[in-house]
Structure 1
Amino acid sequence: MVSRSRIRGRIDWLVVLGPIVAVLFAAGLGRHLLVAWPALATDPAFFQHTGWYVLEGGVPYVDVWDVNPPVPFGITAVLAALSGGDMLVLHALGTTLTVLVAAASVLLVGWVAYLVTETDAAAVAAGLTMLVVPELFLLSPEGVRAQFYALFFGVLALALVLRDRPFLAGAIAALSAGSWQSGGVFALLIVGMAFQRSGRRGALSAVAGGGVVTGVVVLAFAAAGALVPMFVQTVVATLTAGSSYTLAERGYTILLVFGYGAVLLPVALYGWARAAVRDIRERWWIPAGGLLLAAQVVFVDLDGSTDALLWLAFVALGVAVAVERVTTRQSVPTDRLSGDASRTTRHWVTAVAVVVLLAALVLSGLVWHFGSSPQQSTLRTLQEGAEPEGESLPISPSDADVPSMQTIYWEQAKPETCHYRLSWNEVRWVAMTDDRLDRRQCDGWPSRTDRG
């Protein structure tokens, strides 16, 4: 672990970051309640309806086709039980929990940054970096989305393993992977970090923790006869039915997601490089996680801002390492005439300047989000799951005789077909496998999975 800076800030990082997070998330929630409540976006409507449907006897991946892992369905099933079957109450619970989870994720990133750098300014910088993508606090009030929970569980697992709790860290990391496939990166990192900190015993403990959670899920779906369709939809379909893209299009989407905050990407890259070169034995997992999740957004899945949230956490940690370098360098005497007071002043000036600059980027993110530029319209189109431009399919969602996801949710419908979410991934899968949109149950292997 890095040594403590000889001059530490006197203001605890949480005292600075906590109120900022509280204000922004409260403002995001308040805006949603005033402007859009109780309107439902398609993804939250789907996850929350599926949770209710489970209590009514529906089986995910058999009665409901979806590429997402099962943990969000378990969460919404618990919320549905607490709601007493009232869909408005269920929506309120989903909104409240997701806002709390997203806000806690920002604070957890700050905590992880502090555990790594032991520098208050670096911890605040990491948290503020998370907020430069305003969809984190503007979309979380819409309800349950898988990426918010994958982020929360993943960063919590990092904090736990840094506190030498490998079994619990492994279990929580498994929940991240079970929320969204890219959360599997956290599971890999946790095992490696546990081995680094505690040797083989720590790694085995982390694997055991993850194994317990995974075993429970596997047994539950095996008992329900849904293990095979779960694997087909969350693994096979995910790998084969993704949208087409070019690297230029993905790079453009990354810039759309980050907006003015894209200026922090080179800073994060410097932080990753510094961690790899100067402290590879302790901090290898920061550049490793950053690069693995960068590959995810570039090559696998980036249909909107929420798909970049896990990568954003490692961008934030890279920025924290860079800020640690800047602030601690200011506390080192550069000439023999420099006194303690002078060094402390320079340290504080640098730390405050960094925080102010990042706060300005957070505000600029709001300007970018609410701007009426064509670029932002493009991003919102991607987030709504529109068909990628230039992709030609023999079928479309409109070919299915099902109501909208919002209608299904509010009317508490039990659809007669398993294809009713009708994302473009789902439609591509149906086209690739010669399946039918009116299939009643999605309960087996496809006859083919090629595009020919």
Structure 2
Amino acid sequence: MFALQLVRERIERLREERDLSRETLTAAWQSYYWIVAGLLAACGVAATGRAFVRRHGFGPPLPHNDSVILEYVGWFVADGNTLYTDIWEIKPPLAFLPTYLFAQVTGTNMYAHHLLGIATTATGLVLTVALTARIVGTLTESPVAGLAAGVTFLVLPDLFYLPWLGYKAKMMVYVFGLAALDRAVHDRHFTSGLLAGLAVGFWQLSVVFPLLTTIYTLRNRSFTDLKRHVAGGAAAVGVIGTSLLLYADVGGFLAEVVLGPLVLQSETGAFDLRTYFLFFNNDLGRWVTLVGAGGLGLALLEAGKMGLTALDVDGLGLTVFDTDRHQTWPLAVGGLLVTLIVVFIDFDGLWDMVYPLVFTALGVGILVSYLPRRVGIALLVVFALLLVPTFGPSEFVRQDPVEMESSDGLPPALDSEREHVYWTAQSVRSCRFFGGGTQQSILQYYPEADSLAEAPCGDVGLYWAVTRERLSSALPSPLGAQADAGSVTPTAQPGVTVTDEGFDYRVENDSVDVTVPLVNEADERRPAEVVVEVVTDGETVTRCREPSLAGGERTTLRFRFEEVSTDSLSISLWVDDDRAPSTACR
């Protein structure tokens, strides 16, 4: 009791001697930020190490799986090959710059190459924690809010195991994107534009960060600031262009990175809310998500309050909000856009959860900034107690090493073959060695190719032609004088069938292009046999494809018939039908 009394007297003395106004707290935040950031960074390092020990004991890192592609491609282009033509990829060139530089140092020592990838990803995660705290603390002028934003990451143990899987380009996206936001809120507009542009150079869907930095640049209504921001973005374009000239093909870049997402059928899975909450440690994840969403919602309400004030309609009882904090509303816009990206565009697994997690942490910090100071500190203490799953004792869950199998360097490659070509520094024989569902969809444009290995990479002419065709698909197709669309024979096997839109065809000069949209209505993967028959002037020409579609997957097949008469034309289609010619696909 005596000690408690001394603490109370000391606190009262400090209150009398020092003004605890917002200005004082802001100055304290700016003075002690590096201490706070260093503390959070140290906790991040400790959490990363703890996650490794929990998974592996004290043995060396085990062979990884998903990251092997990014690390192998970087080594492969450093070995004298060209990105996008000698090896297929859909990511921008900067995604492979770190692993390209690692290979210049390590050569064929693939274990050292892998360790550098691990170190880079782990460093990126630690910086993400510290930068999130700095951004929230600066915008809300609340050290407690900044700490709460940073600690949010630490209550999620599985997050700090991800770096041990190897190099991931998306972690570089979060580092450069948050660094760009930090520079923007501190009115360093050239650096902000540069870093935001570099983030896009790692991943196309990181465009959210350039959007947010532009909003923060425009808040000062200064044309000079805007010019500096644009100049920074132009400098980033120069860096990306340099990487293209260094180890990539410009035409292949236009084909695979720019036009590829418009042409190819993506294998990206549907958003799974269960996976989201599993990543957030089940029940704890629900609370963290709700708190973060609440903070971003308050930021949006501040934007509405700011707009109402500007319209001089302030008499609506909204005085509970502090319009000095309206600078946080762009973060809420970013959180909404990221949610849409994850739900509808790109969701491949746990790594895609980090994107919304960043904005969840920002939302947690914003919410804490609205609370009374004592309540905010109490909430921070609760968050600290939640660190037990991250740092507390637990049993090892050591995973067995991945078995490796020798590979002929041709697709399709199993996970064991991917591991083998990486760890043995083996050059692949096909640019589509890592072929997945996205690459498989290219075969519809190469009917003469018997396998994925025979389909070239980086064919910008083909991609551009397909893109133009899709853009003009809304226009009526020019038909011959007596053209007859024939009939569509329904599928005999349930599962793979033609979509409700039906097949379409386009006649141009002496050729006919037939497009067949398919969907697998079954829950499991189903093979199909698709036969298109064109009859013109008494001659019959048949084309056949044998796609294999996963459950719920959609794809579009394209058939081209050359040197046909368009005056009298009949087109027939069979899908998995016994009447289809048995030799058509043989």
**TM-score range relative to shorter protein:** 0.7 to 0.9
Instruction: From the two aligned structures, give the one with the greater helix fraction.
Output: 1
Give, in whole Å, the separation in 2 of the partners of 1:179 and 1:294.
19
Residue aligning to 1:413 = 426
Task: Give 1:335's aligned residue.
Answer: none
Cα distance in 2 between the residues matched to 1:298 and 1:85: 40
State the one-letter code of the partner of 2:276: I
**Residue matched to 2:341:** 296
- Measured at CA, do residues 198 and 315 of structure 1 come closer, stay the same or move farther in structure 2, by a change above 3 Å? same
The separation in 2 between residues aligned to 1:299 and 1:55, in whole angstroms, is 35
Aligned to 2:40: 17
Task: Tell me the CA shift for residue 98 of structure 1.
Answer: 1.5
- Counterpart code for 1:308: M
In the alignment, is the contact (CA less than 8 A) between 2:269 and 2:347 conserved in 1? no
Q: Which has the higher contact order (CA 8 A, sep 6+)?
A: 1
Q: Which protein has the bigger strand share?
A: 2
- Pairwise mapping of residues 363-442 of structure 1 onto structure 2 (< 5 A)? 363-364=388-389, 400=412, 404-430=417-443, 436-439=451-454, 441-442=456-457
1:261 aligns with 2:279: no
State the partner residue of 2:121.
98
For the 8 Å contact 2:411–2:433, the answer to whether it is kept is no
Partner SS, residue 103 of structure 1: helix
Q: 1:439 & 1:316 partners in 2: Cα distance?
A: 47
Q: Percent identity?
A: 25
Q: Deviations over 1:269-295 (max 9, x none)?
A: 221222122255522311111011011
Q: Check the 8 A contact 2:77/2:247 in 1, yes or no.
A: no
Amino acid at match of 1:301: D
Q: Is 1:358 matched with 2:379? A: no
Residues 37-82 of structure 1 deviation map (CA, whole Å, 9 limit, x = unaligned): 3433233222222222122111111111122222121111111112
Instruction: Identify if the C-alpha distance between structure 1 residues 370 and 443 changes in structure 2 by more than 3 Å, giving closer, same or farther.
Output: farther
Change (3 A) 1:104 1:7: closer
* Aligned 1:93-242 pairs, distance under 5 A: 93-197=116-220, 199-218=222-241, 220-221=243-244, 226-239=249-262, 240-242=264-266
Partners of 2:438 and 2:445 in 1: how far apart? 10
1:451 aligns with 2:556: yes
What do the CA deviations read for 1:379-434 (whole angstroms, capped 9, x no partner)? Answer: xxxxxxxxxxxxxxxxxx99626772111111111111011223333334446765
**Aligned residue pair count:** 403
The C-alpha deviation readout for 1:164-185, integer Å capped at 9, x for no partner, is 1111111111121111222221
**Residue 228 of structure 1, CA deviation:** 2.8
The alpha-carbon distance between structure 1 residues 408 and 223, as it changes in their structure 2 partners (threshold 3 A), is closer
Rg larger in 1 or in 2? 2
Cα displacement (A) at 1:7: 6.3
Moved more, 6-15 or 401-410: 6-15
CA distance in 2, matches of 1:223, 1:94: 20
Quickly say closer, same or farther: Cα 1:121–1:408, change in 2 above 3 A.
same
Question: Per the alignment, in what secondary structure is the counterpart of residue 451 of structure 1?
Answer: strand
Q: For residues 62 and 133 of structure 1, do their structure 2 counterparts lie closer, same or farther at Cα, with a shift above 3 Å needed?
A: farther
Tell me what 1:376 maps to.
Answer: none
| Counterpart AA for 1:102 | L
Deviation at 1:202, TM superposition (A): 1.6
The residue type paired with residue 56 of structure 1 is: D
In structure 1, distance between residues paired with 2:327 and 2:367:
16
For the Cα contact (< 8 Å) 2:328–2:366, is it kept in 1? no
8 A contact 2:70–2:96 mirrored in 1: yes
Q: Give the Å deviation of 1:16.
A: 5.0
What is the Cα deviation at residue 231 of structure 1?
Answer: 3.0
1:21–1:103: 8 Å Cα contact kept in structure 2?
yes
- Structure 2 portions without partners, runs of 5+: 1-20, 307-325, 398-408, 468-554, 558-586
TM-score with structure 1 setting the length: 0.79
Aligned to 1:342: none
Name the CA distance, whole Å, in 1 between partners of 2:345 and 2:121: 25
Judging changes above 3 Å, is the alpha-carbon distance between structure 1 residues 355 and 178 closer, same or farther for their aligned structure 2 residues? same
CA offset digits 1:20-41 (Å, max 9, x no partner): 2232122234456646734332
Q: Distance in 1 between matches of 2:24 and 2:131?
A: 25
Distance 1:127 1:87 in 2: 34
- Following the alignment from structure 1 to structure 2, what is the Cα–Cα distance between the partners of residues 412 and 370? 35
1-side partners of 2:327 and 2:346: how far apart? 30
Give secondary structure in 2 for the equivalent of 1:178: helix
Tell me by how many angstroms 1:323 deviates: 0.5
Rounded to whole Å, the distance in 2 between the matches of 1:38 and 1:215 is: 36
Q: Using the alignment, how far apart are the partners of 1:406 and 1:204 within structure 2?
A: 47
Tell me, in whole angstroms, the C-alpha distance in 2 between the residues paired with 1:236 and 1:170: 25
TM-score (norm 2): 0.62
3-state SS of paired residue (2:256): helix
Paired AA for residue 105 in structure 1: T
Residue 355 of structure 1, CA deviation = 1.9
Partner of 1:306: 351
**Does the aligned pair in 1 maintain the 2:268–2:347 contact within 8 Å?**
no
Contact 2:55 2:396 in 1 (8 A): no
**Counterpart residue type for residue 185 of structure 1:** V
Asked whether the equivalents of residues 129 and 358 of structure 1 are also in contact (C-alpha less than 8 Å), the reply is yes
Q: Is the 8 A contact 1:140 1:148 kept in 2?
A: no
**Would the alpha carbon gap of residues 319 and 53 (structure 1) be closer, same or farther in structure 2, given more than 3 Å must change?**
same
Is this contact kept in 2: 1:261–1:361, CA < 8 A? no
Match of residue 508 from structure 2 = none
Cα separation, 1, equivalents of 2:442 and 2:90: 10
C-alpha distance in structure 1 between counterparts of 2:251 and 2:258, whole Å:
10
CA contact (8 A) 2:198 2:240 kept: no
